[in-house]
Amino acid sequence: MKWRILPLFISLCLLLSGCATDSENSASESSSVYIQNKGSDTIVNLALAWAERYQTLRPDVRLSVTGGGSGTGITSLINGTVDIANASRAIKSEEIEAAKANGIEPVEHVIARDAIAVIVNPQNPVDKLTLDQISRIYRGEITNWQEVGGEDRPIVRLSRETNSGTHVYFLEAVVRLGNSNDKTIFSPLTLLLPSSEGIISEVSSNPNAIGYDGLGYVTNEVKMIAVSPGKNQPYVLPSIQSVNDLTYPIARDLYMYSRQDSSQAVLDFLDWILSAEAQQIVADLGFVPVHTAQ
């Protein structure tokens, strides 16, 4: 009789122990702080790397990171559905007003810098272009590679989609050459692709293609073009050094936007992003660090 009771006793103990463990896990999960982070596809891999590292330092903080484009992230911040919006362009005045109308005061954080590399297929003999030539290509004024020293081939223009901060920046800084009064848009023959990886894939397989992408996404499957800001000025390839010394003409800040009344957990995470450790991750992923804490 005793031997029949003993297994029942052991099973009951294990069941109670399991319940206690489940209870402890539930308590641990309920005490975790969640930070929702969404936006720029340019920044998403960097944000994921930061989240992975930060959660080893702060196991009590859980970070959810998704892409979708800068516009998507900023809209989510305006709607109050994320804690941090990633953006590869500055927030627009109308977006600030929309946020304020919803009771949200956006706070800007410059978290890295990036060069926009103009890329072509490795088979393309063209290896340098001026900003004006790139602008005219994307406006549809230059349509054949022969016009810029290449072979007699039609130019296939590739761009990110309109909700992309990289698209907006390239339109304003390159297609319009920084002229705020210029309302030119991309040639209607430009193919719009949903991701940075899509640009790389298409350029690597199409000898007629030209595209642009953040430096951190460029692979050896494509060729970067040296860019000159103007006549009789040097052609420069994008790199961390050429961004820092201001010689590469297509470079920009990368941003995170939070709300003024952010939680302490969000503020702590944003402070860590500017630490030496976090900025080393920026460099490791091919972006340009902006700050190193002492």
pLDDT in tens, 57-114: 999 999 999 999 999 999 999 999 999 999 999 999 999 999 999 999 999 999 999 9
- Assess whether 265 and 191 both reside in one domain: no
- 152 and 176 housed in the same domain: yes
Residues 149 and 234 reside in one and the same domain? yes
Provide the angle, in degrees to the nearest 10, between the axes of the packed helices 264-273 and 41-57. 110
Same domain, 109 and 164: no
pLDDT of residue 11: 37
* Confidence at 26, pLDDT banded by 50, 70, 90: very low
Residue 124 has pLDDT above 60, yes or no: yes
Same-domain status, 151 and 228 = yes
Q: How many domains does the chain have?
A: 2
191 inside domain:
yes
Those residues with Cβ within 8 angstroms of residue 153's Cβ, 6 or more apart along the chain or in another chain: 144, 145, 146, 207, 208
Please say if the pLDDT value at position 166 is more than 50.
yes
Identify the domain containing residue 143 by its residue range. Answer: 115-251
Q: Are strands 61-66 and 191-193 parallel, antiparallel or unpaired?
A: unpaired
User: Is residue 89 domain-shared with residue 158, that is, in the same domain?
Assistant: no
pLDDT bracket for residue 291 (50, 70, 90): low
State the pLDDT confidence band at 247, using cuts at 50, 70 and 90: very high
pLDDT above 70 as % of the chain: 88
DSSP 200-220: HHHHHH-TTEEEEEEGGG--T
Same domain as 132, residue 239: yes
What is the distance between the alpha carbons of residues 47 and 40, in angstroms, rounded to a whole number?
10
Query: Do 238 and 265 have their domain in common?
Result: no
Stretch 33-45: mean pLDDT, rounded?
94
Do 148 and 62 fall within a single domain?
A: no
138 in a structural domain = yes
Are 211 and 125 in a shared domain? yes
CATH number at residue 56: 3.40.190.10
Cα 155 off chain centre by = 27
Separation between Cα atoms, residue 278 and residue 271, nearest integer Å: 10
122 and 247, same structural domain? yes
What pTM does this model have? Answer: 0.78
